[in-house]
Amino acid sequence: MAVSDKVVELAKRRGFFTVSSEIYGGIAGFYDYGAYGTLLKRKLENLWRKYFVGMDENFFEIEASNIMPEKVFEGSGHITNFVDPVAKCKKCGTFHRADQIMEEFLHENFEGKTVEELTQLIKKHNVKCSRCKGELGDVSVLNMMFPLAMGAGKDTVAYLRPETAQGAYVNFLRHFNILRMRLPLGLAIIGKAFRNEISPRQLLLRQREFTQAELQIFFDPREVEEHDNWKEVAKYKLIIYHAKKMEKISCDDANKKMKIPKFYLYYLAKMQKFFLDELNIPEKKFRLRKLTDEEKAFYNKVHFDIEIQLEELGWKEVAGCHYRTDHDLKGHQLVSGQSQEIFYNEKKFIPHVLELSFGVDRILYSLLELNYAEDKDRVYLKLPAKLSPFTLAVFPLVNKDKIPKKAEEIFEELKKHFDAIYDDSGSIGKRYYRQDEISTPVTITCDYQTISENTVTIRDRDSTHQIRVNTKNLKTVLTKFLEGENLERLGKTVK
């Protein structure tokens, strides 16, 4: 069985995610998160929030509406440009996203190809419908936004937002004035976006309703070759894929040799650090892919996708760093008639934007797959402790002889300091494996020695090794273990 199938099976069994409205057969492109999946997702979002919004005292999180008027998307260009290439099967009538079905057949990236180019490629390589093997017709385009008819009228006057970014752009000027008129100004949004995907597939990687975490950084373009904290990343090596080869290159060299601005490189380095140091993504599974001029949007001066390598799906985009220049604010100025110029550093101008964009669901799925593990007769997730739905679980060995009471006392004390769960259902072995499957890094068992000696056992999820410690030292020992200290150095080994 493929790892992705095993992850789906585990996700259903343990309540991470499942197809939405499953009792009615579900609907493609929509997923529900269960209890443990929601806990994991919130921890991922909070970690992102702490890391990225915390980078600068002039970065703030805002919350914008999911529904926005049509004029917003005229200003942003979505009405005319937010389209995907589609190819219809002549036999069964199924619509396919043309670049995706080409990628599935030839295992190459075809993003950015024109409608004409995709039509020619489909014919050249005799690409068939994946459902019925029928012939595909010529490629056309489809707007991906969800229109809404509001109120009693029949005219469509609004859309579900296809990205969170526009909420930051239309709010920029107000927040610049409120937040003491300083640049750089960061406006972050974590929220839902909606795209009418032609043929959603690949689980959480391509949905019609999904969560984005985005930080829009508004800055003075005259300062693009500087950053106050440049020295912090100057020698840091980026894992870059371009010209069909991978290389490690320092930010300093990327600036000098690749002509990438320092302001951009600083945040690209911070993004890489987030994935490698905070999410523990293995270096060999991570890369920063530089998009070619043909692939990137015309308004993006520099564009890197952050990609993670999955077992079957290969390299998949999970985030991006986009230097969008003044394209967005200029568009809204033109359509709204409201000037987006500011006076800053003795000059009047429209700020430029650097966008850090993350697909929360894509990252979450990648974490599940990369941390899925099997060991003899058990399945477990090796998520970092800071992301696990629960940090620890407390068990009574048996539900009698004062042991449950003592276990509950210990649980009540520990949950003041850790994300803890109490579990007294089933055999002790089943409880261990249940917590292993939801990635609980440490389990604590109260037994007869707990009553007589005031000691408990602590078990490490990954190694299954156990130690015995006095309850008065429990908080200190757990803290050290969760910070990375070897468990066996913290107490007496249980054999």
Mean pLDDT of 232-253: 96
pTM for the whole thing? 0.91
The pLDDT tens digits of the residues spanning 189-231 come to 999 999 988 777 788 988 999 999 999 999 999 999 999 999 9
Q: Is residue 301 part of a domain?
A: yes
Mean pLDDT of 288-312: 92
Contact criterion met (CB below 8 Å) for 282 and 370: yes
- Model confidence at 153, in pLDDT bands (50, 70, 90)? low
Checking if the pLDDT of 154 tops 70, the result is no
Domain holding 55, by residue range, is 3-70+160-369
**Do both 443 and 419 map to the same domain?**
yes
Q: Is residue 75 part of a domain?
A: no
**Do both 286 and 410 map to the same domain?**
no
Q: Structural domain tally of the chain?
A: 2
Q: Is residue 449 part of a domain?
A: yes
Contact criterion met (CB below 8 Å) for 437 and 381: yes
Q: Is residue 155 part of a domain?
A: no
Q: Is residue 170 part of a domain?
A: yes
Mark which of 341, 369, 397 sits at the end of a domain: 369
pLDDT of residue 344: 94
**Domain harbouring 451, CATH code:** 3.40.50.800
pLDDT of residue 156: 66
Query: Rounded mean pLDDT of the chain?
Result: 93
pLDDT of residue 462: 95
